[in-house]
Amino acid sequence: MMKRAWLFLLLFNSYALAAPIRIVVNDWTSQQILANIAEQIFIRLGYEVELIEVTVDMQWFLLKTDRADLQLEVWQGTMEDKFTQLHRAGAIVDLGNYSMVTREDWWYPLYVKDMCPGLPDWRALRKCDRVFARIGSKGKGVYVSGPWEKPDRARIKSLGLNFIVKQLDNGEAIWQELKGAIADKRPILVFNWTPNWVGAVYPGEFVEFPAHSKACEQDKQWGVNSKLAYDCGNPKAGWLKKVSSNRFAKMFPCLASGIKKLDLSKNEVEHLSAKVDVERLTVKEVAIQWVNMNKENWQLLFSRCKSS
Ligand code: TMO
């Protein structure tokens, strides 16, 4: 028995040692660029790296079981609950926040304001659900979102909005819808976030819901609806952090501390994303450009991290 356990440990450890560093790639552009930047840096330092495409929903299981190592963009607005739960349990490692603040919420191009007077105040949506109705939505307003976990349906209910959520597969699909609506000056409400390139290309605004708080999510009595939770918007100055598996932090402490210090500005992230979504460079091209142009920056963060 003892012998078998020992053999298992030996095999398991050598597997863990030999395994390449696995970086999570999700379904929106800036995250993909940051994942590729980390990949390019690690490759230049002599490490073996693998990019793995997974959804946000899937990534948590992979990170906590050491099957994935690194996630470069964990957003407070969409991922705080899961992050907090796993971090408290010691199942993942917090590699720190970027200095920029983030926001993720309902958003519209500016001309929509004329079609729904009172915006950006959310109460305007109570009166103009029909403005956002489409064929097949049975008179209900349509809000276009992505595959990321958001309490939108709970919010719609607790704020008494006559809306449904149309959920698309990725960021690219949202921008296609948005582009089509803008071309025809049709009313549209989409999930958007900052930093992102969208606001710089299409002028627009976030809907202003009641201010977010933990109490709003946990205490039904809180807020405009005393019987239901989630009667508020998402955080307006949310954090954006880097997260790793326990395996990564233990086996690559030098890389982990470099990632901790890695920081990009809001402008930089928006600019890099636009290169992919507007100028149509590939994610890989943009990542390689960044790594080549910021050599001094990242070599300082990862000095002494060379793999032998
Ligand atoms: C996680 N996201 C930036 C798509 O909201």
> What's the gap between Cα 181 and its chain centre?
24
Q: Would you list the domain boundaries of the chain?
A: 14-101+238-301, 103-218
On whether the 103-218 domain is CATH 1.20.1530.20, my answer is no
Give the closest residue to 49 by CA, choosing from 24, 29, 66: 24
Distance 69 CA to ligand 1 centre (A): 20
Distance CA 30, CA 36 (A): 10
- What's the confidence (pLDDT) of residue 135? 95
> What's the gap between Cα 156 and its chain centre?
22
Strand ranges of the sheet holding 49-53, from the earlier edge strand across to the other edge:
49-53, 21-25, 70-75, 240-245, 92-97
Decide if 210 contacts 224 (C-beta within 8 A): yes
pLDDT tens for each residue of the chain, 308 residues long: 556 666 666 555 555 566 899 999 999 999 999 999 999 999 999 999 999 999 999 999 999 999 999 999 999 999 999 999 999 999 999 999 999 999 999 999 999 999 999 999 999 999 999 999 999 999 999 999 999 978 899 999 999 999 999 999 999 999 999 999 999 999 999 999 999 999 889 999 999 999 999 999 999 999 999 999 999 999 999 999 999 999 999 999 999 999 999 999 999 999 999 999 999 999 999 999 999 999 999 999 999 998 87
The model's pLDDT over 292-304, given as tens digits with 9 standing for 90+, comes to: 999 999 999 999 9
- What's the confidence (pLDDT) of residue 199? 87
Helix spans in the chain (H): 2-18, 29-44, 56-64, 76-88, 112-115, 123-127, 152-158, 171-183, 198-201, 214-218, 246-251, 253-261, 266-277, 283-293, 295-301
Q: Tell me whether domains 14-101+238-301 and 103-218 share a fold.
A: yes
Distance 29 CA to ligand 1 centre (A): 9
DSSP assignment of 43-61: HHTT--EEEEE--HHHHHH
Rg for the chain (alpha carbons), in Å? 22
Distance CA 155, CA 209 (A): 10
For residue 104, the ligand 1 atom closest to its alpha carbon is: 5
How distant, in Å, are the alpha carbons of 159, 215, 221, 229 from that of 226? Answer: 10, 12, 4, 8
**Residue to mutate (ligand 1; options 26, 75, 277; most atoms within 8 A of CB):** 75
Rounded to 5 degrees, what are φ and ψ at 290? Answer: -60, -45
Decide if 27 contacts 175 (C-beta within 8 A): no
Distance 241 CA to ligand 1 centre (A): 12
Superfamily name and number for 14-101+238-301: Periplasmic binding protein-like II (3.40.190.10)
To 10 degrees, what angle do helices 266-277 and 283-293 make?
Answer: 140
Cβ–Cβ contacts within 10 Å for residue 19, how many?
A: 15
Distance 76 CA to ligand 1 centre (A): 9
Is the model's pTM score more than 0.95?
no
